[in-house]
Amino acid sequence: MPIFTCENLSKRYGKVLALDHVDLNVEPGRIVGLLGPNGSGKSTMIKLANALLTPSEGRILIDGHTPGRETKAVVSYLPERTYLADWMSVRQLLDYFQDFYPDFERDRAAQMLAHLNIPETQRIKQMSKGTREKVQLILVMSRRAKLYLLDEPIGGVDPAARDYILNTIIGNYDPSAAVIISTHLIADVERILDEVIFIQNGRIVRHTPVDEIREQMGMSVDALFREEFKCF
Amino acid sequence: MRWEFHNEAPIYAQVMERVERMIVSGVLPPGERLPSVRVFAQEAGINPNTMQKALTELERGGLIYSQRTSGHFVTEDKAVIIKAREELARLQTERFLQSMQELGFTAAQAAALLQQRLERKEEE
């Protein structure tokens, strides 16, 4: 049974149709790339899934429920912009996640942070951008959620930090959960994906296993994306 | 170290070839236990399902076998390893001929160049 479903899902901002009658199923155990140019509807879909927006038409189901209180307990969300106060220390962040999420595995998070030599007394504002992104990802991936929604997890960090983030996603892989990663850094994420979704003008124009693209079209996902979304 | 991949073939197929090379070259000796799928996937920097698929395919070919609880092992059947080694050598030869052909050399001309190279090496 799919863990994430969109049925005829639309979102309208005034006259603009940000999502246009989207149908989608994502099964547990899959790592899925949500790929599209800026303004294609990626973030709108993720915000709808987190109940930060409400659909204009159709619905989203996460583990059988529409987004709300029940789904927040099973969805682990990494927003594009941080929502954490920058005066907080690592220890305070761990406390905060522990208080909010019963599925948060503090030991696992603490172990990954120790491995990076990040002291628990360090405050967010004392960290580099790369370290901040790594810390947030560690917190999000340390929950035993059923659905991980990662909005641009590798945007704006150096290649070494990117590798670390992608490896952390692999290392915390859980066959009973799905991961949806929105990004436009396709060449970097392709190797960790099972499937890709191409989204353009609010519509899903492609939903395919990565192997199929390479086997049937003889090109990487990045090359296909550049071709299908070519700017003239 | 993350493994490097090119764009021409599916990643699982490239993983298969890489593991085959590790086995035929003795980096992974007969009977050796492979890392768990998760650890191996992390080492390669790839999706665990992709690693699983590559290992399943290798198992189908007999180069590795799995035990339900303890993971994957390199075969102890030397004949299978020798066969895989020959197959990789054949593939390598194909690639050599293919790229020589792209440069405008026939197979016979390529063979002559190879022969010259060998004779020069013997003189040294």
Report the percentage of chain A scoring pLDDT > 70.
Answer: 100
Can you give the pLDDT at residue A82? 80
Mean pLDDT computed over A8-34: 95
Can you give the pLDDT at residue B1? 60
Provide the mean pLDDT of chain B.
Answer: 92
Residue A89 within a domain = no
| A124-169 pLDDT per residue, tens | 999 988 899 899 999 999 999 999 999 999 987 888 888 999 999 9
Residue B122 has pLDDT above 80, yes or no: no
Q: Dump the DSSP string for B14-48.
A: HHHHHHHHHHHTTSS-TTPBPPPHHHHHHHHTS-H
Residue B124 has pLDDT above 70, yes or no: no
Per the CB < 8 Å rule, is A170 touching B12? no
Q: How far is B106 from chain A (nearest CA, A)?
A: 26
Residue B58 within a domain = yes
Per the CB < 8 Å rule, is A171 touching B38? yes
Domain boundary among the residues B58, B76, B94 is at B76
Question: Quick one: B27 and B71 in the same domain?
Answer: yes
Domain boundary among the residues B76, B97, B115 is at B76
Question: Quick one: B83 and B111 in the same domain?
Answer: yes
Question: Quick one: B58 and B25 in the same domain?
Answer: yes
| B17-71 pLDDT per residue, tens | 999 999 999 999 999 999 999 999 999 999 999 999 999 999 999 999 998 878 9
Per the CB < 8 Å rule, is A173 touching B12? no
| A189-217 pLDDT per residue, tens | 999 999 999 999 999 999 999 999 998 88
- From the list A30, A192, A214, which residue is nearest B46 (CB)? A192
Let me know: does A169 contact A141? Beta carbons within 8 Å: yes
Residue B1 within a domain = no
Residue A55 within a domain = yes
Report long-range pairs for B40-44 (Cβ below 8 Å, ≥24 apart): B41/A170, B41/A173, B42/A167, B42/A170, B42/A171, B43/B1, B43/B3, B44/B2, B44/B3, B44/B15, B44/B18
Longest dimension (CA), chain B: 55
Which residue on chain B is closest to A168 by alpha carbon?
Answer: B42
Which residue on chain B is closest to A192 by alpha carbon?
Answer: B47
Mean pLDDT computed over A48-72: 94
Alpha helices in chain A (DSSP H): 42-49, 69-72, 90-100, 106-115, 129-141, 159-171, 186-189, 210-217, 221-228
Looking up tokens 């790929």 gives A35
Residue A71 within a domain = yes
- Chain B contact set for A211 (CB, 8 A): 10-12, 50, 53
Residue A156 within a domain = yes
Question: Quick one: B49 and B29 in the same domain?
Answer: yes
Question: Quick one: B18 and B65 in the same domain?
Answer: yes
Can you give the pLDDT at residue A157? 86
- From the list A171, A215, A222, which residue is nearest B42 (CB)? A171
Question: Quick one: B61 and B83 in the same domain?
Answer: no
Residue B97 within a domain = yes
Residue B2 within a domain = no
Can you give the pLDDT at residue B21? 95
Question: Quick one: B86 and B68 in the same domain?
Answer: no
Token pair in block for residue A118: 């990040």
Provide the mean pLDDT of chain A.
Answer: 93
Q: How far is A194 from chain B (nearest CA, A)?
A: 7
Question: Quick one: B71 and B95 in the same domain?
Answer: no
Question: Quick one: B69 and B118 in the same domain?
Answer: no
Question: Quick one: B72 and B92 in the same domain?
Answer: no
Residue A140 within a domain = no
Residue A133 within a domain = no
Residue A178 has pLDDT above 80, yes or no: yes
Per the CB < 8 Å rule, is A193 touching B5? no
Find residue A57's DSSP bridge partners. Answer: A10
Which residue on chain B is closest to A32 by alpha carbon?
Answer: B47
Residue B48 within a domain = yes
CATH of the domain at B59: 1.10.10.10
Which residue on chain A is closest to B9 by alpha carbon?
Answer: A214
- From the list A29, A163, A193, which residue is nearest B45 (CB)? A163
| A106-135 pLDDT per residue, tens | 999 999 999 899 999 999 999 988 899 899
Q: Which domain holds residue B65?
A: 11-76
Number of domains comprising chain A: 1
CATH of the domain at A197: 3.40.50.300
Number of domains comprising chain B: 2
Residue A102 within a domain = no
Residue B93 within a domain = yes
Can you give the pLDDT at residue A158? 87
The three-point CA angle A22-A27-A29 to 5° equals 140
**Residues whose CB falls within 8 Å of the CB of residue A199, separated by 6 or more in sequence, listed in order:** A34, A35, A36, A40, A41, A42, A45, A205
Q: Which domain holds residue A10?
A: 4-82+147-228
Q: How far is A220 from chain B (nearest CA, A)?
A: 5
3-state secondary structure of B11: helix
Question: Quick one: B25 and B63 in the same domain?
Answer: yes
Per the CB < 8 Å rule, is B7 touching A219? yes
Can you give the pLDDT at residue A232? 65
Can you give the pLDDT at residue B70? 82
Residue A174 has pLDDT above 90, yes or no: yes
Residue B6 within a domain = no
- Chain B contact set for A167 (CB, 8 A): 42, 45
Mean pLDDT computed over A55-73: 94
Residue B3 within a domain = no
Can you give the pLDDT at residue A6? 97
